[in-house]
Homo-oligomer: A and B are copies of this chain.
């Protein structure tokens, strides 16, 4: 075996290159770390709005919590976790959920399925579901005929999806298209009879996918859509079904995945599927879904409680408050994403150094905002990423916006 091995072991770097990524990213992370913005340790009198550093007494608001509806610290959600622990008297059953599932988990699948109008497959995280599902779409085995599909990844799709490119490339041709470039995507659909597109619904760095155009491509070419809608689940739709699901009927050519650990307020993730057959197939073969952990029972309990809130008028009330806060922020601090109805906003300053300086001074003033830089955002577009929430007060939003203007003027 060792006879025919190559002298140069360097990989082809078709889909990733740690050296070039680290060369740019690590100095920026180190600067953020030197500025005290990384590895902050807190207690939480209020999990999103009053985080306290015990050693110094410094208190701050978390402007980059993605607990968009405040459900991560809702008393009923906490109580739901406790109830499940008391009922099951176990953290989990310590066995593959392909084989044995606790009735609480089954109930959660059913309730979320009814809420979102889909067959719902849970996993430890959205990342774990994507790792399990994408390669099966690539090889053409998910509700399909076993012939591979060309996998087209949107250039801005989340890390958890682009991570899987080399795995998919074992099964099929993997391409990357420019962000929301439907012309490029259509050209590929014309050239190949079987194509899948991999994208975010609401992008983690702001903006959304070109859904209307995607639906047309699906109708015209049978395009498979794999969309991660983590940043809109719970926030959008009558039952919180999210940006994509609220505008797209489930079918055999669509999989929507979403984290339950953001707007939904708990943890773990789900895949929304078009049929029970897909659910059963993925339960058997979707990698970590079968051979790793699944959602722990306290998170299942928390999710049942969050589902109850999603069925009640409270959801609409929380969504309304969130959208008021988004509109308020857009009025007092307009950014390119203003008016898109989604809660992620970016304040771009250009260079990583300035982004870190801005974030550090805001932190001193009581607001944690995440400095983002390559590879989180493209080179030269460093800045802050912030998220609006329903549990922010208008006064805090004003105070934050004033501080940003104030500090940017000094950069």
Least distance between A217 CB and chain B CB atoms (Å): 15
Residues of B within 8 A of A171 (CB): 10-11, 13, 16-18
Contact B124 A91 (CB under 8 A): no
5 contacts between A and B (CB under 8 A): A41-B100, A41-B106, A51-B93, A66-B95, A91-B266
Residues of B within 8 A of A265 (CB): 91, 94
Residues of B within 8 A of A39 (CB): 98-99, 101, 280, 283
Q: Mark A122-162, 1 if CB is under 8 A from B, else 0.
A: 00111110010001101101000010111000000011100
Q: Is A201 interfacial (CB-CB < 8 Å)?
A: no
Of the candidates B41, B131, B136, B293, the one whose C-beta lies within 8 Å of that of A267 is B293
Of the candidates B94, B149, B187, B266, the one whose C-beta lies within 8 Å of that of A66 is B94
Residues of B within 8 A of A139 (CB): 11, 18-19
Contact A2 B100 (CB under 8 A): no
Contact B103 A91 (CB under 8 A): no
How many Å lie between the Cα of A139 and that of B159 in the bound state? 18
Contact B298 A37 (CB under 8 A): no
How many Å lie between the Cα of A188 and that of B6 in the bound state? 12
Q: Mark A247-276, 1 if CB is under 8 A from B, else 0.
A: 000000000000101100111100000000
Contact B191 A5 (CB under 8 A): yes
Select from chain B the residue with minimum beta-carbon distance to A104.
B43
Q: Is A335 interfacial (CB-CB < 8 Å)?
A: no
How many Å lie between the Cα of A293 and that of B265 in the bound state? 12
Residues of B within 8 A of A368 (CB): 99-100
Q: Is A169 interfacial (CB-CB < 8 Å)?
A: yes
Within 39-94 of A, Cβ neighbours of B (below 8 Å) are at: 39-44, 46-48, 51, 54, 62, 64-67, 72-73, 75, 77-78, 81-82, 85-86, 88-94
Q: Is A172 interfacial (CB-CB < 8 Å)?
A: yes
Contact B11 A148 (CB under 8 A): yes
Contact B160 A292 (CB under 8 A): yes
How many Å lie between the Cα of A10 and that of B25 in the bound state? 34
Residues of B within 8 A of A175 (CB): 1, 5
Residues of B within 8 A of A81 (CB): 81, 85, 91, 298
Of the candidates B67, B91, B168, the one whose C-beta lies within 8 Å of that of A94 is B67
Contact A103 B41 (CB under 8 A): yes
Contact B166 A170 (CB under 8 A): yes
Of the candidates B15, B29, B41, B88, the one whose C-beta lies within 8 Å of that of A101 is B41
Q: Is A390 interfacial (CB-CB < 8 Å)?
A: no
Residues of B within 8 A of A101 (CB): 39-42
Contact B267 A92 (CB under 8 A): yes
Contact B11 A173 (CB under 8 A): yes
Residues of B within 8 A of A149 (CB): 9
Residues of B within 8 A of A17 (CB): 170-171
Contact A38 B284 (CB under 8 A): yes
How many Å lie between the Cα of A101 and that of B110 in the bound state? 33
How many Å lie between the Cα of A305 and that of B187 in the bound state? 57
Least distance between A132 CB and chain B CB atoms (Å): 9
How many Å lie between the Cα of A67 and that of B100 in the bound state? 14
Contact B82 A85 (CB under 8 A): yes
Of the candidates B12, B94, B98, the one whose C-beta lies within 8 Å of that of A262 is B94
Contact B102 A42 (CB under 8 A): yes
Known A6-B173, A103-B41; judge A93-B62 contact (CB<8 A): yes
Known A37-B99, A128-B128, A135-B16; judge A148-B89 contact (CB<8 A): no
Shortest beta-carbon contacts, A-B, top 9: A47-B90, A18-B139, A298-B298, A67-B94, A9-B173, A166-B166, A73-B90, A11-B171, A127-B292
Residues of B within 8 A of A370 (CB): 95-96, 99
How many Å lie between the Cα of A187 and that of B67 in the bound state? 52
